[in-house]
Amino acid sequence: MAAALVTLLALAPPLSKTSGIQPALLAAVVLFVVAAITDAADGYLARKWQAVSLFGRIMDPFADKLLVLGTLVMMAMPAFEIFNNGQPVMAAGFTGWMIVVILGRELLVTSIRGVFEARGIDFSASASGKAKMIAQSVAIPGCLLIAGLHGSQRPDWASWAVTLAAWGTTLVTAASAAPYITRAVRAGGPDQAQESP
């Protein structure tokens, strides 16, 4: 589903050359929401039925990242650039540096998780990681929805909404790495983790 979403966004016309409702972006919102809901349901059922596995703890975050990062990268592409009072701005709020921060967090946490999971230490998602995913799952389709409804002619409230959503998501995502780093330090680092039973 992530591949279909990214393809849909890649084929959407540049917002700077359009106005009004953008069907491709609205369809992307629906795809993202459906993917996020099915992912959440899958995790809930796995825990409820006690079917959590090492494979699931690795692949579930990977699917999340593919969905989120793929969408964010497309939202920061030139096709989402519009002009506000003659100045170029991103219609969905997310800029290139925000994507770099979010990607850096994901790579760091994935690397930490990979090291410790390989040594038999449970490094499944923490509360901060789940909060980060909730923030992303609300902000991303929300920003896409605003871009899809207004195109290049968005009202002032929409500009503020996407800006706050993008900044908030970026800050929450970056801060959510702290508990993983703390857990890794407390576990004693990779060398000591290898000696753990």
* Residues linked to residue 151 through DSSP beta bridges, in sequence order: 19
Q: What is the mean pLDDT of residues 131-142?
A: 93
pLDDT in tens, 188-197: 654 554 444 4
The band of 147, judged by pLDDT with boundaries at 50, 70 and 90, is very high
* Residues linked to residue 83 through DSSP beta bridges, in sequence order: 88
In a domain, 179, yes or no: yes
Query: What pLDDT was estimated at residue 197?
Result: 41
* Residues linked to residue 82 through DSSP beta bridges, in sequence order: 89
Phi, psi of 87 (to 5 degrees): -105, 135
134 has a pLDDT exceeding 50: yes
In a domain, 80, yes or no: yes
Query: What pLDDT was estimated at residue 57?
Result: 67
Query: What pLDDT was estimated at residue 133?
Result: 86
Secondary structure class of 187 (helix, strand, coil): coil
Write the DSSP string, 152-186.
T---HHHHHHHHHHHHHHHHHHHHTHHHHHHHHHH
Contact 64, 137 (CB under 8 A): no
Please state the three-class secondary structure of 63-114 as a single string: HHHHHHHHHHHHHCCHHHEEEECCEEEECCCCCHHHHHHHHHHHHHHHHHHH
102-109: long-range pairs with CB below 8 Å, 24+: 102/68, 102/69, 102/72, 102/169, 102/170, 102/173, 102/174, 103/69, 105/173, 105/174, 105/176, 105/177, 106/65, 106/69, 108/177, 108/180, 108/181, 109/176, 109/177, 109/180
In a domain, 195, yes or no: no
101 has a pLDDT exceeding 50: yes
How many structural domains does the chain have? 1
What is the extent of the structural domain holding 151? Answer: 2-9+19-187
Six-digit token string for 134: 């909730």
Q: Round to whole Å and give the CA distance between 178 and 53.
A: 25
Single pTM value for the model: 0.84
Please choose, from the candidates 68, 192, 196, the residue with its C-alpha nearest in 3D space to the C-alpha of residue 129.
68
In a domain, 48, yes or no: yes
What is the dihedral sign for C-alpha 120, 70, 104, 134?
negative
In a domain, 163, yes or no: yes
